[in-house]
Structure 1
Amino acid sequence: MKWLDDIEQAKSEGFDDLEGRADVPGQALAESRHWARTLFAQGMSPYDAGRPVRRAVHRATKAAPDLLRHEYDVDDLHLSIVEGRSFALVVVARASLDVLALPEEERAPAIARIAKALFHPVCVSGGACFRFPERIEEGTFFSTNPELDPRLLGAWQDRLDAGIRGGELVFLAYKRLPWMAGFADPSSWLREGERIDQKPRFRFPFRSSRSRRKKR
């Protein structure tokens, strides 16, 4: 997956620790907070008040895009969320849940429980919407809607991916809104720029705001 390859490249180039939210450009921070509210269940967001969170950024290079990383603990889970402008990757630390150490028949139910706890219920209704393969092992990936190309999603809840990578459980969510065409530029996110968390307002270019329709 391109998004996972981008993250691996960014890791090799390095992330810079942040002192606080103020170090994130205002527009990127607004978008990040919007998607945290949209994707995650209540009490699971990295922006919940009073929650200690370690943040770091990777600023875009020729090989990897802008990325923002949050690391924090919630409900006995250590989470690392790496988000770009068009996706969010959630990594559940192996020390929190070692899926591959479980008996095979317990792996899918355990993943479903974590998904139900982490994500907005619109996305993971009842915690059983993944199409699990017969065997879940290292390198296995699965989805709620594997036939739908992520580039053609109508909205974020149309597809959520998950899998086992490096022994850890990972989830991949796509930042898609119904009115969006394609994905926003991933390499200009950590600069002040155009917002994507609300629908733009269109105006008629030649109509005065004071003009009125003639009465008949």
Structure 2
Amino acid sequence: MKWLDDIETAQSEGFDDLDGRADVPGQALAESRHWARTLFAQGKSPYDAARPVRRLVHRATKAAPDFLRHEYDVDDLHLSIVEGRSFVFVIVSRDSLDVLALPEGERAGAIARIAATLFHPVCVSGGVCFRFPERIEEGSFFSTNPDLDPRLLGAWQDRLDAGIRGGELVFLAYKRLPWMAGFADPFAWLREGERIDQKPRFRFPFRRSGPKRKRR
């Protein structure tokens, strides 16, 4: 998947520590906070005021787009969240949870419990909603709705992906808004640009602008 390749390219180029939120354009910060509230369960967001969070940034280059990275602990889990303009990629540190070290019969249940802990209950509440393969191993990929193209999602909760990558449990959530067509430009996120968190205003064709004429 190209987005994951972009993350690896950005990691090889390097992330810089943020001195403060002022280093991120106001609109990008507002979008990031909006999606944190939307995607994560209460108290699990990287913007939870009671939780220390290390924030880093990769500003777009010719090879990789803009990314924010949030590193923090939730309960006994250490998370690294790489956030692009159109998705959120959650990495659960292998040091805090090694799924592949569990017996095969326990892996799916452990993944479902972690998903229910981290994410908004719209999708994952009540247990397993992933379509797991017969065996969960390195390179396994699974989804709540694998037949639905991410570009055609009506809303973020229509599909949540997960897998095992480099021995670590990862989740991929898509930033989808019902009125969006496709995804916004990932190279133009960390500079002031168009807003994507509100419905666009449409003009009716052939309607003239300006004051109305009085009828005689």
Q: Please give the range of the TM-score, normalised by the shorter of the 2 chains.
A: over 0.9
Q: 2:119 aligned with 1:103, yes or no?
A: no
Name the amino acid aligned to 1:179.
Answer: W
What secondary structure is seen at the aligned counterpart in 1 of 2:94? coil
TM-score by length of 2: 0.94
Name the amino acid aligned to 2:153.
Answer: L
Name the amino acid aligned to 1:81.
Answer: I
CA drift of 1:200 comes to 2.2
- 1:64 alignment counterpart: 64
Give the whole-Å Cα distance in 2 for the aligned partners of 1:127 and 1:50.
Answer: 28
Among 202, 205, 208, the residue aligned to 1:206: 208
Name the amino acid aligned to 1:148.
Answer: L
What secondary structure is seen at the aligned counterpart in 1 of 2:82? strand
- 1:187 alignment counterpart: 187
CA drift of 1:186 comes to 0.3
Comparing 18-27 with 178-187, which one deviates more in the overlay?
18-27
Give the whole-Å Cα distance in 2 for the aligned partners of 1:202 and 1:161.
Answer: 33
Name the amino acid aligned to 1:14.
Answer: G
The aligned runs of 1:164-179 (5 Å cut-off) are 164-179=164-179
CA drift of 1:127 comes to 2.9
Number of aligned pairs?
213
- 2:90 alignment counterpart: 90
Comparing 107-116 with 121-130, which one deviates more in the overlay?
121-130
Name the amino acid aligned to 1:206.
Answer: R
What secondary structure is seen at the aligned counterpart in 2 of 1:3? helix
- 1:127 alignment counterpart: 127
**C-alpha distance 203-128 of structure 1, shift in aligned 2 (>3 A):** same
- 2:137 alignment counterpart: 137
Give the whole-Å Cα distance in 1 for the aligned partners of 2:168 and 2:213.
Answer: 62
Structure 2 gap ranges (5+): none
CA drift of 1:189 comes to 0.2
The aligned runs of 1:11-160 (5 Å cut-off) are 11-160=11-160
CA drift of 1:152 comes to 1.3
Name the amino acid aligned to 1:202.
Answer: F
Identity %: 86
CA drift of 1:107 comes to 0.2
CA drift of 1:21 comes to 1.3
Deviations 1:148-192 (A, max 9, x none): 111111111111000001111000000001110000000000001
**C-alpha distance 193-102 of structure 1, shift in aligned 2 (>3 A):** same
Instruction: Calculate the aligned-residue CA RMSD, in Å.
Output: 1.6
**C-alpha distance 13-206 of structure 1, shift in aligned 2 (>3 A):** same
**C-alpha distance 105-188 of structure 1, shift in aligned 2 (>3 A):** same
Give the whole-Å Cα distance in 1 for the aligned partners of 2:50 and 2:118.
Answer: 18
Name the amino acid aligned to 1:178.
Answer: P
**C-alpha distance 22-213 of structure 1, shift in aligned 2 (>3 A):** farther
Name the amino acid aligned to 1:45.
Answer: S
What secondary structure is seen at the aligned counterpart in 2 of 1:187? helix
Give the whole-Å Cα distance in 1 for the aligned partners of 2:212 and 2:169.
Answer: 58
**C-alpha distance 130-206 of structure 1, shift in aligned 2 (>3 A):** same
What secondary structure is seen at the aligned counterpart in 1 of 2:170? strand
Give the whole-Å Cα distance in 1 for the aligned partners of 2:23 and 2:103.
Answer: 44
Give the whole-Å Cα distance in 2 for the aligned partners of 1:138 and 1:212.
Answer: 70
CA drift of 1:27 comes to 0.9
Give the whole-Å Cα distance in 2 for the aligned partners of 1:16 and 1:7.
Answer: 14
